[in-house]
A and B are shown apart, each in its own frame.
Chain A
Amino acid sequence: MKVSRRQVTAAVLVGQAIRLSAAPEAPDAELQAARDRLKTNAQALSAVSVPRDTEPAFQFKA
């Protein structure tokens, strides 16, 4: 099958994008514990009543 230079370039760019966006795999107890802490934190935050009109504590100015 003939592959054009454009197709090769596109494949290389996609591969680079995938490598840049994925964190290296390190499935170990420390990583799991860290992920569990984030989940525990999220649970604590979900228990706080936040009025609908409360905006995040940062501002964008044009």
Chain B
Amino acid sequence: MAQLGSDVFFSTIGELNARLVAKEISAVELARAFVERLQQLGPRYNALVLSLKQEAIRQAEAVDKEIKRGRLHGPLQGIPYGVKDLLSYAGQPTTWGAKPYAAQVFDYNATVIDRLDGAGAVITGKLSMVELAGGGGYRYASASLTGPGLNPWDRTRWSGGSSSGPAAAVAAGLVTFAIGSETSGSIITPASFCGVTALRPTYGLVSRHGAMALSWTLDKLGPFAHSAEDCGMILQVIAGKDSSDPGSAGRSFYYTPQYARPLKELKIGYAPGDFTDRAEPSARAAFDAALAVFKAAGAQLTGVQWPQFPYGPVLSTILAGEEASIFEPLITSGNVDQLADKSQIAGLKAALDLPAKDYLRAMRIRRLIQHAFSNDVFTQVDALLAPGRSGPAPKIDQPLAPPPGATPAAPPTPTPPPAGLAGIIPAGNLAGLPALVVPCGLAENLPVALQIVGAPFSENLLLSIGKEFQARTDWHKRRPPGA
């Protein structure tokens, strides 16, 4: 068997699978190498919660037998991956990143894990997250059972959250891909800060069964990987109807790059100010260069009529209502006080006071938002383009929200409309829209990224845009220093 070089840790799914099928390397060799790397380097970034070494070797042995018999199950066969620790794995702790649940064990697998197992992928570990996916609102990066997620590009910086471990593990080459989740920003943010490609699918496309619920109507599971193409291959495996998930859209997904429309045929909505005045100064050059790639490819970048709604307050209200119900036992028992972040504790407690009328009003406005995106936005453009985040990752000890008492007074009514595509993260999540994050450059030697947002179930379009961008750039192949 060939000696495994360090390149293997940053290879794409296609590259690794080709070597496995050609029997250049064995699945067991690959699993051992990745498990050891995850065990050794995962703690460096507070990315690893639990190594699943025995399971990985067992699964890899089964893969090698299948490959030897010529039974090939697709590109994910033999590929090592990790999962955010809000996904249940039978017989092993699933901590939800939170002290009150540190010893929690389920006796079943999350559906996405079963699907990946069926495709021959090899699970190597549970990866870290912000406690309870940060739903109560957290002020510091340390809001986690495993401590702050550290960025592989600079460990004095935050990896982002709440899918801290998945993003850091892919960026540092500790897994080939990972599964994370997003309620509002928890895939977009860490992918942007860690410089990895990631996909937030349409709500309901991927089963939530076996995943911690933070918000029944906002939660989505999605892949972190080394390329848009890898995300497409992963989504094909994990997507699909699941009767165990009441929110399942009942639709499958087939990754069809052969039908991709080139960028020159597409109309992409954006707000120039998002990449200039409203971007952090250090990131503007990178964003400018990224936009130039789109223009050089012939994409029609155009302004778009952006529906004016208070996206943040609508999402926060819906989230508060649902998380209060989900975590009511935690809150009323007092165990909520064991959480690491005081702002998170307070947010969850306060959420119990939310009047039903407020939740319902937010859900009615949500229907107006969905209608506006379907009938106004995506009739004008094929997709939307915005920065993933306005700049690079913050320092670990930098507050992520203002301290109590520093909250500004309620804005004057009528509220002035937000500038540009501000609010695209809550807006996209409220409307259940898919989004692809692609790294697009460096600012202060740290990654910055773009997000491409589409209509419901337009993942193939987003992936084709991402794939073409990644054919013209190499940001997605860059590695953290020393990796």
Contacts and interface: CB of A to CB of B under 8 A. Distances in A.
Given A47-B415, A58-B217, A42 B358 contact: yes
Contacts of A54: 364, 367-368
Nearest to A56: B363
A22 B349 CA distance: 10
Contact of A38 (B312, B317, B343): B317
A33 B365 contact: no
B316 interface: yes
B353 interface: yes
A38 B413 contact: no
Contacts of B343: 30, 33-34
The secondary-structure label for the interface of chain A is helix
Given A24-B349, A33-B346, A37-B407, A56 B360 contact: yes
A9 to B, nearest CB: 22
B310 to A, nearest CB: 4
Given A24-B349, A29-B405, A36-B407, A47 B361 contact: no
Interface string A11-26: 0000000011111101
B137 A34 contact: yes
Interface in A27-43: 28-38, 40-43
A37 to B, nearest CB: 7
B366 A33 contact: no
B133 interface: no
Contacts of B312: 41
Contacts of A20: 332
Q: Which of B314, B334, B404 has the most CB of A within 10 A?
A: B404
B110 interface: no
Contacts of B414: 47
B194 to A, nearest CB: 29
Contact of A45 (B336, B349, B358): B358
Interface string B398-418: 000000110100110111000
B358 A22 contact: no
Contacts, number: 121
Contacts of A32: 404
B253 interface: no
A42 B317 contact: yes
A50 B364 contact: yes
A31 B358 CA distance: 19
Contacts of B360: 56
Contacts of B349: 23-24, 26, 31, 34
Contacts of A1: none
Contacts of A35: 350, 353
Contact of B365 (A31, A48, A58): A48
A14 to B, nearest CB: 16
Contacts of A30: 342-343, 345-346, 404
Interface string B322-348: 000000000110101100001101110
Where chain B touches its partner, the secondary structure class is helix
Contact of A43 (B320, B363, B365, B410): B410
B351 interface: yes
A38 B353 contact: yes
B117 to A, nearest CB: 32
A57 interface: yes
A33 B361 contact: no
Contacts of A38: 316-317, 320, 350-351, 353-354, 358
Given A38-B351, A44-B415, A47-B414, A55 B346 contact: no
B352 interface: yes
B297 to A, nearest CB: 36
Contacts of A22: 332
A23 B358 contact: no
A32 B405 CA distance: 9
Contact of A57 (B217, B332, B345, B411): B217
A31 B346 contact: yes
A55 B367 contact: yes
**Of listed A36, A43, A45, residue having the most chain B CB within 10 A:** A45
Nearest to A33: B404
B410 A40 contact: yes
A61 to B, nearest CB: 10
Interface string B246-285: 0000000000000000000000000000000000000000
B346 A23 contact: no
B228 interface: no
Given A45-B317, A48-B368, A54-B368, 4 more contacts: A34-B350, A35-B350, A41-B312, A44-B415
22 contacts: A20-B332, A21-B332, A23-B353, A26-B337, A26-B346, A33-B404, A34-B350, A35-B350, A36-B407, A38-B316, A38-B317, A41-B312, A41-B313, A41-B314, A42-B358, A45-B365, A48-B310, A50-B368, A54-B367, A54-B368, A55-B367, A56-B367
